[in-house]
Amino acid sequence: MNGHSKISIIGAGSVGATAAFSIAQKHIARELVIIDVNNDKAEGEAMDINHGLITIGRMNIHSGSYADVKDSDIIVVAAGLGRKPGETRLDLAAKNIGIAKDIAQNIMQHYNGGVILVVSNPVDIMTYVILKETGLPAGKVFGSGTVLDSARFRYMLAKQLNADIRNIHGFMGGEHGESQFAVWSSVHVSGMKLDSYCAKMGVAIDKDALVDDIIGLGAQVIKRKGVTNFAIAAIVAELCGTIMSDRGSIFNVTSLLDDYYGVNDVCVSVPCILGKDGVVGHLPYDFSAEELTKLRKSADGLRVFMDQLGL
């Protein structure tokens, strides 16, 4: 790392704290600030990570307040409420929108640069609200979107194909929710199209069942352990590393779309080019006609939901 680099994480819950640990493990920034309404929790998480610095190297890891977002290269928003039993998605979104507005207003009191990476759910809506509330350029605010879903997609394909996950490529698009869809045209195994690979290797995949499984995987983890935190934390660290290094890598993050194949004024996941300024471009991916229909349907459904919330 050249010069000073700083990442601030808002929210010291399971996701925020694990993301902080993942970022520290990869030594992505020289300074790491953990901010939470419960300062003792934030301070405790910082202390715990600091006690492992002997295996990491020199870093300045500490708790802080919103004033500490100043001079951040990346501000990670991981604060929000989880859904309670009997609560609808609309109920949860309405509560978290209030939190998102409050976070955005607090950030902007001290903001002087950097990008905002939103992880809190519902991530597409939270990203949209924080973007609008901050008034920042569209690419400066984006969310983790379907990056985790895409990772699960590749994991499930690797299991079914009995192949190395590093040889399998493909992604999920649309909303980080039930209307997401598999971009089957993107899937290849070591450069070989999936259908051709399956035919030659004698493997059969039930594509619809696989997508249904992927959409439900998060709920399956939550059912067993109460939260999903490790995989998303690893992905947050990867995204932060990409931004810090200005790599120009392509990830399916959620960001504001402006006439992307006819999709407007909604944040959903499509292939985005990531650099130090956040989303620096949307890749005009060669979707099939069926995939474009699913993308537009996902975006339209999210827009209707947002209209119900007054967004």
Separation of alpha carbons 89 and 299, rounded Å: 16
| Greatest Cα-to-Cα distance within the chain, rounded to the nearest angstrom | 59
275: which strand partners?
278
> Are residues 228 and 218 in contact, defined by beta-carbon separation less than 8 angstroms?
yes
Residue type, 248: G
**Residues acting as catalytic residues:** 176
Residue type, 167: N
> Are residues 252 and 145 in contact, defined by beta-carbon separation less than 8 angstroms?
yes
> Are residues 181 and 211 in contact, defined by beta-carbon separation less than 8 angstroms?
yes
**Rounded to the nearest 5 degrees, what angle is found at the Cα of 287, between the Cα atoms of 281 and 290?**
140
CA 212 and chain centroid, separation: 20
